[in-house]
Amino acid sequence: MRRGTIKLLTVALAVGTLMPVSAQAGGCAKADFEAVVDEAAGALRDLNTANKPKFQNKLRLLKEKRGWAHEQFIKEAAPFVADEKIADYDQQSNSLLEKIASGGEAGAAAATPDCTVLDSLRASMKTLVDAQTAKWVYMNGKLDAELAK
């Protein structure tokens, strides 16, 4: 597995959906395990690309609406990017990232690939993307509510 892919998984935020794909009738190959990691990285990258600019724009709008100076903005914006619920999403995502990365490595290194493990990794990918999608919805919802005031 490429080191850059693992790093991207570790720092990326997510969107999109990943569907578990059952192993084909002929079984699965070692490369399928590496592909799981690449698919997760791509989905997370797409999710981040779709949400980050919109979120940052909403933060700028809130700053302008409230007339916050830069220092005040840094303080006032903190609850929109870091609270207990966001920390829970991040903890869940980090656990899933570790599971996907280690499972992908173990599956690729196995003498005989276990397609059941591959399906489990794909399910973990979907859960990861769902968690990151929920995080973006939550964070955007908080900003939308504040902008509506």
Q: Is residue 20 part of a domain?
A: no
Q: Is residue 124 part of a domain?
A: yes
pLDDT at 113: 80
How many Å apart are CA 43 and CA 142, to the nearest integer?
24
Residue with tokens 């600019």: 53
Q: Exposed, middle or buried by CB within 10 Å (0-12, 13-18, 19+), for 92? A: middle
Q: Is residue 16 part of a domain?
A: no
Task: Tell which residue, 49, 40, 52, has the closest CA to residue 126.
Answer: 40
Per residue in 93-143, pLDDT (tens digit) is 999 988 888 887 777 777 788 888 888 888 999 999 999 999 999 999 999
pLDDT at 138: 97
Q: Is residue 18 part of a domain?
A: no
The token duo for 33 is 């395990």
More confident: 50 or 15: 50
Give the chain's domain count: 1
Beta partners for residue 27, in sequence order: 24
Residues 6+ apart with CB under 8 A from 66: 76
Range of the domain at 128: 3-7+29-148
Residue-wise DSSP of 114-129: -HHHHHHHHHHHHHHH
